[in-house]
């Protein structure tokens, strides 16, 4: 398959690994922010092939994992209303809230449907004028423009029965939060290629400067990840801290201005709670006031209940790169993909699920 | 111009009083009898079924019997490469013959939704007739029920199959031995992705076709090459990953796979990439995975390649003593990863 096979070429990957081995002298801790990176690293076993001095830690870049329990609870409550068709990407359906998941709501009679695009949800609203169609809009800057576009499309068509339950999060405030933490161990970052396709890498430059960390925008195939890692390690060994771009076939410094315009038109930046981490300032997106009619949170008056997470779950420490998933005492015991205690065990991009799936109980 | 299909000439839609299924078609009365005589018997008729007794009384050869049953609820009814009709025949034929048995007779039960177009039912029956003939099995008994509109989705079929297991053949998921070779008959993930892409209307993936096919001919050829087949299954729901995990756990051995040896069609791989689906977990309906001693592996693969259903047969891995109960894959880059059982429902109503 063109544009994929080149980036999975074992010979090229082998050469990059050799270069990494030749480059690394000191021990380094590098974080991949994005769950897509974590997944690709585990799937291809890249962590097994790296020299011992390079430690990869897994960041909070899995939108499913950091969506607060309250949002899931709100989704379940809205989905239970008889007039609602509740739509979501597949990942979110299994995420446990405080009492139920969307899958459980579905089996209890709620009309919950999996879609592959928010525009499918708009189409459902068009086809079902007597029903209220709600789309669960989660994700980073990657999905926000598409979800914003769906909202604008619904408005253009004059659909009054479409709304978003929005829980969008932003990458840069998360990295800033991690770097500001006194317990931070991370010395270099692989920045998320898809988010940067939308946002560009300008906004990472102040971070690299202020915290003295190299940041390399990286793609998602094994060769991309090894090349991005090599670029980070070269900078670390040379004492540099710049933003570099490995993912040139997709990312420019400015990003995608059309997508950014849609985001700015639909969403405003706000403080946001991250599951397992807590509230990070200016780290989320909310629907702007003049579009409140499309905001499910305001359209459906759902009471917010404050909830407690399982005390056994250490997903907060995992998401901050403080511990590896298999160092959590509950990993593979009380907490498995069938019975997840935290969202990091639910999503395919969650670090705990990736460890469980690709390493299993071998290391537990 | 309208495409002329020779089959439309040989088997025109029987003229019926109603164009759609009525509740009375399941009443056991006149309309039921008409449905059986005009729709079912012309398609499946044979001297056993034609007796229209409450049961089929059949001659049965000496030896061991293989018996299986399966329900088919696939959505949509018609998909690229097949439909619920040939799926219902092939699926049950394959379950019988994975024991090494020669499939002999099938029973078929239909649950029809009130309002189902007669033309839809006719098209499904034609396809079942064709699949049964290709597999060399006869439908010797059956049942039809009609439920109120909304109580089932169009049409569900249950087929039951019986076959005879030859002497000296002992195939079981618990029989894997260290050193055995794992053989796969062809590309994986075709059926599941055909269903998913037709359901989602993904135009780029329009070339993805289901692989639905009866495998009894292929199995006969394998047994001729060597009756010493330790285990065999058709990796349907849950895909190749699930079947291999079942083998590993039943036999308490480990399985080591080579990622690069597992064939996936480019269009299927493309669809999997776009939808974020792992082909190892996607259903097949015309593939088998066999486990044989190393010394006969090449002979069995050679025999498989002489059969239309096994042209791309190959060895994809071996049974190892390490990590009993686990399936491990050597990735293209030379690292290892565990291929676990899938969690949750990947895709409902795939067969």
Mean pLDDT is lowest, of B204-218, B289-303, B305-319, for B204-218
Measure the CA–CA gap between B5 and B276, rounded to whole angstroms: 38
ipTM for the predicted complex: 0.80
Measure the CA–CA gap between A335 and A349, rounded to whole angstroms: 16
Q: How many CB atoms lie within 10 A of CB B225?
A: 19
| A73 domain residue, yes or no | yes
CB A135 within 8 A of CB A60: no
Do B116 and B41 lie in a common domain? yes
What domain range is A268 assigned to? 65-170+255-299
Q: What percent of chain B has pLDDT over 70?
A: 94
| B275 domain residue, yes or no | yes
CB B109 within 8 A of CB B143: yes
Q: How many CB atoms lie within 10 A of CB B28?
A: 10
Measure the CA–CA gap between A355 and B5, rounded to whole angstroms: 53
What pLDDT does B204 receive? 67
| A253-305 confidence digits (pLDDT tens) | 999 999 999 999 999 999 998 887 788 899 999 999 999 999 999 999 877 66
User: Whats the size of chain A, residue-wise?
Assistant: 364
Do B20 and B159 lie in a common domain? yes
DSSP string, A179-214: HHSTT----EEEEEHHHHHHH-SGGGHHHHHHHT--
B307 touches chain A (CB under 8 A): no
Q: How far is A361 from chain B (nearest CA, A)?
A: 10
Q: How many CB atoms lie within 10 A of CB B278?
A: 16
The conformational region for residue B238 under phi > 0 = left, psi -120 to 50 = alpha, else beta, is: left
Find which of B255, B324, B333 to mutate to test the A interface (most A CBs within 10 Å of its CB): B333
Do B185 and B161 lie in a common domain? no
Do B15 and B148 lie in a common domain? yes
Pairing of strands A84-88, A111-114: parallel
Q: What is the DSSP-derived secondary structure letter of residue B4?
A: P
Q: How far is A338 from chain B (nearest CA, A)?
A: 6
What is the longest distance spanned by two Cα atoms in chain A?
65
Identify the domain boundary among B140, B165, B190. B165
| B118 domain residue, yes or no | yes
Q: How many domains are there within chain A? A: 1
Measure the CA–CA gap between B127 and B81, rounded to whole angstroms: 12
Planar angle of CA B175, B179, B181, nearest 5 degrees: 75
Measure the CA–CA gap between B282 and A234, rounded to whole angstroms: 41
| A245 domain residue, yes or no | no
Only one residue has tokens 């930046």, namely A269
**Is A360 within 8 Å of B276 when comparing Cβ atoms?**
no
Q: Give the domain CATH number at B309.
A: 3.90.650.10
Do B154 and B118 lie in a common domain? yes
| B220 domain residue, yes or no | yes
| B225 domain residue, yes or no | yes
Whether pLDDT at B315 is above 70: yes
Q: How many domains are there within chain B? A: 2
| A120-150 confidence digits (pLDDT tens) | 999 999 999 999 999 999 999 999 999 999 9
Do B154 and B283 lie in a common domain? no
Confidence of residue B93 (pLDDT cuts 50, 70, 90): very high
Do B188 and B135 lie in a common domain? no
**Is A10 within 8 Å of B333 when comparing Cβ atoms?**
yes
Q: What is the DSSP-derived secondary structure letter of residue B292?
A: E
Do B14 and B161 lie in a common domain? yes
CB A163 within 8 A of CB A294: yes
| B172 domain residue, yes or no | no
Residues B39-68 have a mean pLDDT of 92
Cβ-proximal residues to A122 (8 Å cutoff; 6+ apart), any chain: A133, A150, A153, A154, A157, A159, A162
**Is A43 within 8 Å of B337 when comparing Cβ atoms?**
yes
Do B12 and B158 lie in a common domain? yes
Q: How far is A143 from chain B (nearest CA, A)?
A: 15
Do B194 and B122 lie in a common domain? no
Kind and range of the H or E element at A357? helix A351-359
Identify the domain boundary among B165, B194, B222. B165
Which residues of chain B neighbour A44 with C-beta distances below 8 Å? Answer: 331-333, 335, 337
What domain range is B202 assigned to? 181-338
Q: Give the domain CATH number at A150.
A: 3.40.50.11740
Do B157 and B193 lie in a common domain? no
Report phi then psi at A270, rounded to 5. -145, 165
In chain A the first and final C-alpha atoms are separated, in Å, by 36
| B86 domain residue, yes or no | yes
Do B141 and B202 lie in a common domain? no
B274 touches chain A (CB under 8 A): no
| B264 domain residue, yes or no | yes
**Is A1 within 8 Å of B269 when comparing Cβ atoms?**
yes
| B209 domain residue, yes or no | yes
Find which of A3, A94, A326, A358 to mutate to test the B interface (most B CBs within 10 Å of its CB): A358
Q: Give the domain CATH number at B153.
A: 3.30.1330.10
Identify the domain boundary among B123, B140, B165. B165
Measure the CA–CA gap between B344 and A357, rounded to whole angstroms: 13
Which residues of chain B neighbour A338 with C-beta distances below 8 Å? Answer: 343
Whether pLDDT at A364 is above 50: no
Choose among A16, A9, A10: nearest CA to A246: A16
Dihedral (C-alpha) A236, A239, A240, A245: value to the nearest 10 degrees?
-20
Tokens representing A55?
């430690």
Give the global pTM: 0.87
């Amino acid at each position: 398959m063109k544009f994929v096979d080149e980036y999975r070429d074992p010979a090229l990957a082998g050469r990059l690994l050799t270069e990494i081995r030749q480059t690394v002298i000191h021990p380094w801790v590098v974080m991949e922010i994005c769950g897509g990176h974590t997944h690709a690293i585990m799937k291809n076993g890249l962590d097994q092939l790296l020299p011992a001095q390079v430690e990869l830690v897994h960041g909070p870049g899995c939108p499913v994992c950091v969506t607060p329990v309250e949002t899931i609870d709100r989704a379940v409550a809205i989905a239970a209303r008889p007039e609602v068709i509740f739509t979501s990407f597949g990942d979110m359906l299994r995420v446990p809230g405080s009492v139920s998941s969307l899958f459980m709501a579905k089996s209890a009679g709620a009309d919950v449907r999996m879609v592959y695009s928010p525009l499918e949800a708009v189409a459902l609203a068009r086809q079902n004028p007597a029903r209220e169609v709600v789309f669960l809009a989660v994700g980073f800057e990657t999905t926000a423009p598409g979800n914003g576009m769906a909202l604008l499309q619904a408005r253009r068509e004059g659909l009054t029965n479409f709304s978003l339950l929005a829980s969008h999060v932003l990458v840069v405030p998360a990295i800033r939060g991690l770097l500001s933490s006194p317990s931070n161990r991370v010395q270099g970052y692989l920045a998320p290629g898809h988010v940067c396709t939308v946002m560009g890498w300008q906004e990472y430059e102040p971070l690299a400067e202020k915290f003295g960390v190299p940041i390399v925008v990286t793609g998602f195939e094994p060769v991309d990840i090894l090349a991005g890692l090599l670029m980070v390690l070269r900078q670390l060994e040379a004492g540099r801290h710049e933003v570099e771009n490995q993912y040139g076939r997709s990312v420019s410094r400015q990003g995608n201005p059309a997508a950014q315009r849609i985001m700015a038109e639909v969403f405003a930046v706000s403080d946001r709670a991250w599951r397992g981490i807590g509230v990070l300032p200016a780290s989320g997106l909310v629907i702007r006031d003049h579009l409140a009619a499309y905001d499910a949170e305001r359209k459906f008056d759902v009471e917010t209940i404050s909830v407690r997470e399982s005390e056994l779950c250490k997903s907060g420490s995992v998401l901050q790169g403080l511990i590896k998933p298999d160092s959590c005492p509950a990993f593979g015991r009380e907490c498995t993909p069938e019975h997840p205690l935290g969202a990091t065990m639910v999503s395919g991009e969650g670090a705990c699920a990736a460890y469980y799936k690709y390493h299993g109980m071998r290391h537990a | 111009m309208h495409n002329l299909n020779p089959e439309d000439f040989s088997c025109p839609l029987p003229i019926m009083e109603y164009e759609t299924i009525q509740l009375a078609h399941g009443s056991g009365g006149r309309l039921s009898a008409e449905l059986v005589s005009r729709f079912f018997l012309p398609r499946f008729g044979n001297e056993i079924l034609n007796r229209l007794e409450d049961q089929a009384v059949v001659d049965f050869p000496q030896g061991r019997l293989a018996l299986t049953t399966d329900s088919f609820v696939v959505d949509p009814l018609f998909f690229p490469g097949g439909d619920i009709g040939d799926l219902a025949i092939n699926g049950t034929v394959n379950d019988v013959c994975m024991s090494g048995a020669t499939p002999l007779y099938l029973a078929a039960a239909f649950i029809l939704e009130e309002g189902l177009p007669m033309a839809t039912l006719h098209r499904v029956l034609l396809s079942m007739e064709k699949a049964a003939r290709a597999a060399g099995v006869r439908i010797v008994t059956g049942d039809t029920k009609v439920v109120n509109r909304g109580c089932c989705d169009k049409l569900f079929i249950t087929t039951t199959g019986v076959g005879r297991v030859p002497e000296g053949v002992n195939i079981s998921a618990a029989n894997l031995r260290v050193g055995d070779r794992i053989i796969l008959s062809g590309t994986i993930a075709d059926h599941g992705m055909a269903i998913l892409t037709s359901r989602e209307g993904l135009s780029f993936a329009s070339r993805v076709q289901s692989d639905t096919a009866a495998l009894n001919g292929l199995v006969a050829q394998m047994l001729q090459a060597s009756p010493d087949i330790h285990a065999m299954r058709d990796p349907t729901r849950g895909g190749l990953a699930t079947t291999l995990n079942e083998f590993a756990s039943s036999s308490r051995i480990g399985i080591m796979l080579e990622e690069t040896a597992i064939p996936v069609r480019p269009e299927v791989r493309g669809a999997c990439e776009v939808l974020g689906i792992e082909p190892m977990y996607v259903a097949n309906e015309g593939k088998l995975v066999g486990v044989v001693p190393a010394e006969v592996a090449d002979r069995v693969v050679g025999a498989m390649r002489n059969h239309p259903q096994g042209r791309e047969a190959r060895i994809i891995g071996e049974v190892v003593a390490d990590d009993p109960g686990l399936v491990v894959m050597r990735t293209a880059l030379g690292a290892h990863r565990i291929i676990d059982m899938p969690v949750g429902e990947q895709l409902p109503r795939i067969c």
